[in-house]
Structure 1
Amino acid sequence: MKTLRNRSCLVACLLLCGCSPLMKGSLDTFKATVHNVEPLQVTAADVAKVPFAQIKVTTPSSEGVMAKLRQLGDLQFWVASGKQVLLMRDGLVVRSIGLQPSLDGTRFDGESPFKRGLQHVVDGETSTRWIDMYEGEQVGLMVNSRFIRKGLETVTIVDQRYVAQRIDEEFEIPALGFKATNRYWVRPDDGLVLQSRQYLTPELELKIVHLRPDWETSR
């Protein structure tokens, strides 16, 4: 676990050294602490200036852009200049650093539906995973999920329109008495998650928009 933390911090430092002033300005909005944050306007020209795949991440109190600086197998490292890091597998955030309260780890019981591709989930399919939360050192919290296939919807990302299959994940964390719904919009042909709304912890929901889906390898 300590090695992973050190590796993530190293990646963050690389981005700080290499990103453009424009990108730094966008990423620094993660430092905002006020509610009702002003929407971050990102243009196609802004995205094109940075030679990395990028996501726009919105929290209840801040918004910023993160760049994918490294990938180890299916584990992606998305980093902001403020040293916030999201580790993602197949569109699901499995760990976070610098966004409080932090998600410290995720493990699935059996095959991950995200690994298989959400475009393949059957309506009503269930899954179980365990998460660790850094705050309060809560380890091994069971998350029970049920996936619901919704219809095709059109999403607009940096002036480009995409037809996406919406998949809802109704889930509960029995130990905390918490229930909510994550939502994913995926490309029907390869399952790439174009955008999502997902809870890292009961207190922190993220909206994640993939600004450069054409840079991602199809499943």
Structure 2
Amino acid sequence: MNTLKIAAGVGVACLLAGCNPLMQASLDTFKAAVVGPAPLALTRAQVDAVPFPQIKVTTVSSEGVMALIRQRGDLQFWVASGKQVLLLRNGLVVRTVGLGADLDGTRWQGQSPFQQGLHRLPQGYRSTRQIDLVGGYQLGIDVTSRITRKGIETLEILDKTYALLRVDEDIEAGDFRARNRYWVDPNDGFIVQSEQHLTPRLTLTITQLQPTRKDAP
């Protein structure tokens, strides 16, 4: 938790420096969770003006931009101006802070399929992970997963078009069932966009705004 607080503090200070309009828009939209904000109107010039790799994160009630301010091995720390934090590992969200019904942790039984690369997995690949949820002492919940490749789809992000392999992940945890969707580079498995059901009350759509795989500072 101390690591998260340090990362959030450093990230917010950096992102707000210079009052970048893109990050201010992100702060405003994440604060609009009650009424639901208008979608962010992003441009390539705005994204390129921020010296950090960025993602757009959308929930049912908010939308904003997060920046990558630290990477430790394959674990990435993404921070928004409003102090929301996402931890991603190989494109999968493994922890959230400040988004409401937060995911508090993720652990795999065996090797993570995301580490192997979704584009390499055989059809019907199954795995199990455990998650912890904030509140109610909900720890060690088993989540079973089944992977299905759906073929190539075209996505447009800002001013570029991408031909991406869509991979669906059907997950079950007790009565909770959902379908996560990932759009990955068919050559290297990099997840360019995803829709992830992290908890029964938290679903995120994550879009890489700089899918050029820039390294963290």
Question: TM-score normalized by structure 2?
Answer: 0.93
Specify the code of the residue in structure 1 equivalent to 2:197: Y
- CA–CA separation in structure 2 for the residues paired with 1:216 and 1:24: 19
Corresponding pairs, count: 214
Instruction: Pick one of 201, 204, 215 that aligns with 1:203.
Output: 201
* Aligned-residue offset at 1:154: 0.6
**8 Å Cα contact 2:7-2:69 kept in structure 1:** no
- Corresponding letter in the other structure for 2:145: S
For 2:13 and 2:36, the matched residues in 1 are separated by: 31
Runs of at least 4 residues off by over 6 Å:
none
For 1:1-219, list aligned pairs within 5 A: 2-18=1-17, 20-28=19-27, 29-174=29-174, 177-216=175-214
Q: Report if aligned partners of 2:22, 2:42 keep a CA contact under 8 Å in 1.
A: no
Confirm or deny: 8 A CA contact 2:24 2:81 kept in the other structure.
no
Distance in 2, matches of 1:137 and 1:63, equals 28
Distance 1:8 1:139, change over 3 A: farther
CA–CA distance in structure 1, aligned partners of residues 63 and 39 of structure 2:
7
Deviations 1:116-137 (A, max 9, x none): 1111111100010000011222
Q: Secondary structure at the match of 1:215?
A: coil
Structure 1 residue matching 2:5: 3-state secondary structure: helix
Supply the AA of the counterpart residue of 2:51. Answer: P
140-149 or 14-23, larger mean C-alpha shift:
14-23
TM-score by length of 1: 0.93
Deviates more, 1:84-93 or 1:3-12: 3-12
Give the fraction of aligned pairs with identical amino acids, expressed as a percent: 51
Cα shift at 1:36 = 4.8
Q: Deviations over 1:125-172 (max 9, x none)?
A: 001000001122211000000000001001111120011000000000
Q: Give the 3-state SS of the residue equivalent to 1:119 in structure 2.
A: helix
CA 1:181–1:213 in structure 2 vs 1: closer, same or farther (change >3 Å)?
A: same
Amino acid at match of 1:26: A
| CA deviations over 1:63-111 (Å, ceiling 9, x no partner) | 0000001101000011000000000001100000100111100000000
> Does the residue aligned with 1:149 lie in a helix, a strand or coil?
strand
Report the Cα distance in structure 2 between the residues aligned to 1:133 and 1:186, rounded to whole angstroms. Answer: 27
Structure 2 unpaired stretches of 5+? none
Return 23-32 or 49-58, whichever deviates more. Answer: 23-32
Give the CA deviation at 1:12: 3.4
One-letter amino acid matched to 2:189: G
